[in-house]
Structure 1
Amino acid sequence: MTRFFIVGLASICLLFVHPAFAQSQSFEQWLAEFRIDAKARGISDKIFDEALGDAKPIPRVIELDRNQPEFKMTFDEYLGKVVSKARQRIAAKKMIEHDDILTKVSKKYGVQKRFIITFWGVETSFGRYLGSFNVPHSLATLAYDGRRSAYFRKELLNALQILEEGHITAANMKGSWAGAMGQSQFMPSSFLSYAVDWHGDGQRDIWATTEDVFASTAYYLSQAGWRDDRTWGRKVSIPSNFTMNGKTAKQLADAKTNVKLAKWSSAGVLAADESALPTADFKARLIMPSGSDGPAFLVYSNFDSILAWNRSNYYALAIGHLSDTLR
């Protein structure tokens, strides 16, 4: 029993030293094999060496991946942080400053200007905080690590393709520890699918070209089903004895019941100011981010488009609230 205990303890300790150290294959060996896959993808040795020639596993990236903080903020705390008064003021100024290009982008892709500005503000504080990690090195670390290697291997290949196409240099491909890049914080796969070269200069520059950032954001949302004939949703008032089809509001929210606004109205749901709901002929579902005792929101199809960007209800509601201050 002592021998098995020692062997087991040694294995546990090996994991705590550094996850990558527990690999049977060295990083250099892994990188040599990965080069073969990259070549098959059309990545030149020149680009590969520029991006990964001096790459080493980054312990901080593994630490962040292993120890992502548990989400403990209440909805009100989160909303107060993301939709701060300072951010609202800056967003309003940016709407005016960039009105010309926002108008053009909005018309082309069918996404309201206020939402384009809002995503920009929430993702990178209007382009001020892009992340300082070398994206190819971070992705290589995560691809080698093994926990989610298949996903990050694909993203690393996508990042190398972006470099091969000349949209950014390896040295300037900065982003988050997980590989989200630029002012719109696109993963490489999202970049290849949705990044836009607004001026047609051959570069989709979501790092430094504001027009490309706005167009890329709007195009992403348009492809996620965005409709510019409606907003994201609204805060509502639920009667204390509310039921619909024999279900409580919380049960309907949990079931993601999606029915016409008229049906919510007939069941007694009102706007937050106690006025009648809009008479628009589309569906809505109930969101109760703090449970039965907290605020309630009816959300429309655009809310689901926001969730395509980030799967958090808190995030999507924050996008909605900040955008509403810009109406």
Structure 2
Amino acid sequence: MRSSLPALRATLAAIAATFSFASLAKAQFAPAPAPITRAPHVATVPSPRAGSCHNGQSFERFLADLKQKAAAEGVSQRAIAEASPYLVYDQGIVNRDRGQRVFGQLFTEFAGRMAATYRMQNGQQHIRTYAAAFARAEKEYGVPPAVIAAFWGLESDFGANMGNLPTLRSLVSLAYDCRRSERFQGETIAALKIIDRGDLSPSEMIGSWAGELGQTQFLPTHYVNYAVDYDGDGRRNLLRSGPDVIGSTANYIASGLKWRRGEPWLEEIRLPQDFPWEQADLTIKAPRSKWTSLGVIYPDGRQLPSDNLQASVLLPMGRNGPAFLAYANFAAYTEWNNSLIYSTTAGYLASRIAGAPPMRRPAGPVAQLPFNEIKELQQLLVRAGFDVGKVDGVLGQQSRTAIKAMQLKYGLPADSWPTADLLARMRGGARAQAGPVQ
């Protein structure tokens, strides 16, 4: 099944644009090379506008100031000197960041590829191989092995594909660029701290183009704050040590993402035809007893526990697609990566690794609006007074909320899924509001 990875690279690189900035490179599946042993040459020079947010400072002046900030935060001059040959600007990294194309993909297509049987089985095998580390992590942090293994598989295919670019070059280039300068200045300083405490050398820092490191793709700030030495060698090595990857990922999920010990995260369900679709929303939380009273059951017909455990009904493809109960722990997935497709896939893969059956396929094809029509729908929603965030053709939570409101207005099933019917009605409404052409 490894042969399927090259075909995914272009797809996932495009989907990465729908992810949070911290996850832009998580879907890169390029082969991981051996660490470079010498400083890379400067590939390109900054564009004329690159320093506009730094009072026109040259990159060299900006870098000198950044090194001073790092020293003020406790980074040693030794570590700064070791890293300096790698702190070079690459306009190609910035171009890549700014040039990401967005395209949509149905959840069932994405999950079918990324939560495929081979990856589920690989996750189960890794749990057996590292049984002691997984057991320790669950005892100390309360995070089940399947949850850790799912992220491990999705982020790097268990270390096979961690990226192939010098991390320091990526970070400092994005720090000098004006789009997210402050954030990446902090990430660059965090990378220097990783070097300073002896976890990785500058030449070992090879990862994604957005500066993430290791087998579960940690940003340097997460590496500094949550990486733990689980193999006892005195280093936190998330590139080479399976136990360190397991313990560190569990620590981040538990401490950074507030995982709730002993609680579920995502379960597939079946909804009745007369379900009140407007109730299917991650912002609406209710006890399972309420969902039971509305006719929600498991896919095999079993009843849900009629208890007070809070959950939301999640329809990643509207009422004609799969349905899930998303529990409080599902928030850890959306915090890890705010793409609904990615987070739902990660939760689903974890459930599969833990032993859940494959999800039911939709009874028929689920129509999806093309990118340009989703963008047009967003524009119409903005004209109707809704805040959808960025009008970018990406179906985020704000867009879904606005879509549901308009579905209710037009008497359509309010499942937050954009349809040709809704678009046609909104086009008609916009024409009526504009009045006759003079």
> TM-score range with shorter-chain normalisation?
0.7 to 0.9
Paired position in structure 1 for 2:147: 115
Per-residue CA shift, 1:137-166, capped at 9, x if unaligned? 111000111111011011111111111111
Per-residue CA shift, 1:275-318, capped at 9, x if unaligned? 21124431000111112322221111111122221122222221
CA-CA distance at 1:62 after TM superposition:
1.0
CA-CA distance at 1:60 after TM superposition:
2.5
Paired position in structure 1 for 2:133: 101
Paired position in structure 1 for 2:85: 53
Q: For 2:238 and 2:150, how far apart are their aligned partners in 1?
A: 16
* Unaligned ranges ≥5, structure 1: 1-16, 244-248
Match of 1:35 among 48, 67, 74: 67
Query: Size of the alignment, in residue pairs?
Result: 305
Please give the TM-score of this superposition, normalised by the length of structure 1.
0.87
Is 1:311 paired with 2:311? no
**Paired residue type of 1:48:** I
Match of 1:326 among 353, 360, 371: 353
Paired position in structure 2 for 1:67: 99
Q: For 2:45 and 2:273, how far apart are their aligned partners in 1?
A: 54
Q: 1:54 to 1:295 in 2, by over 3 A?
A: closer
Paired position in structure 2 for 1:195: 227
Match of 1:285 among 312, 318, 331: 312
**Paired residue type of 1:284:** A
Per-residue CA shift, 1:242-263, capped at 9, x if unaligned? 22xxxxx2x2234620010001
Contact residue 20 and residue 145 of structure 1 kept, 8 A: no
SS in 2 for 1:299: strand
Paired position in structure 1 for 2:211: 179
CA-CA distance at 1:58 after TM superposition:
1.5
* Unaligned ranges ≥5, structure 2: 1-43, 355-438
Q: For 1:280 and 1:50, how far apart are their aligned partners in 2?
A: 58
Q: For 2:46 and 2:299, how far apart are their aligned partners in 1?
A: 50
CA-CA distance at 1:267 after TM superposition:
1.3
Q: For 2:186 and 2:172, how far apart are their aligned partners in 1?
A: 10
Matches within 5 A, 1:1-327: 20-22=47-49, 23=51, 24-223=56-255, 224-243=257-276, 249=277, 251-254=278-281, 256-327=283-354
Paired position in structure 1 for 2:388: none
Please give the TM-score of this superposition, normalised by the length of structure 2.
0.66
Q: For 1:264 and 1:69, how far apart are their aligned partners in 2?
A: 39
SS in 1 for 2:267: strand
Contact residue 289 and residue 295 of structure 1 kept, 8 A: yes
CA-CA distance at 1:200 after TM superposition:
4.2
SS in 2 for 1:53: helix
SS in 1 for 2:102: coil
SS in 2 for 1:238: coil
Tell me which stretches of 4 or more aligned residues in structure 1 moved more than 4 Å: none
Q: 1:29 to 1:225 in 2, by over 3 A?
A: closer
SS in 1 for 2:48: helix
Q: 1:280 to 1:212 in 2, by over 3 A?
A: farther
Paired position in structure 1 for 2:432: none
CA-CA distance at 1:102 after TM superposition:
1.4
Q: For 1:242 and 1:72, how far apart are their aligned partners in 2?
A: 27
Q: 1:55 to 1:147 in 2, by over 3 A?
A: same
Q: For 2:268 and 2:282, how far apart are their aligned partners in 1?
A: 19
Q: Which moved more, 1:313-322 or 1:77-86?
A: 313-322
SS in 2 for 1:102: helix
Q: 1:146 to 1:70 in 2, by over 3 A?
A: same
The alignment-based identity, stated in percent, is: 34
Q: Which moved more, 1:47-56 or 1:211-220?
A: 47-56
Q: 1:319 to 1:280 in 2, by over 3 A?
A: farther
Q: 1:280 to 1:113 in 2, by over 3 A?
A: farther
CA-CA distance at 1:123 after TM superposition:
0.9
CA-CA distance at 1:179 after TM superposition:
1.2
CA-CA distance at 1:54 after TM superposition:
4.8
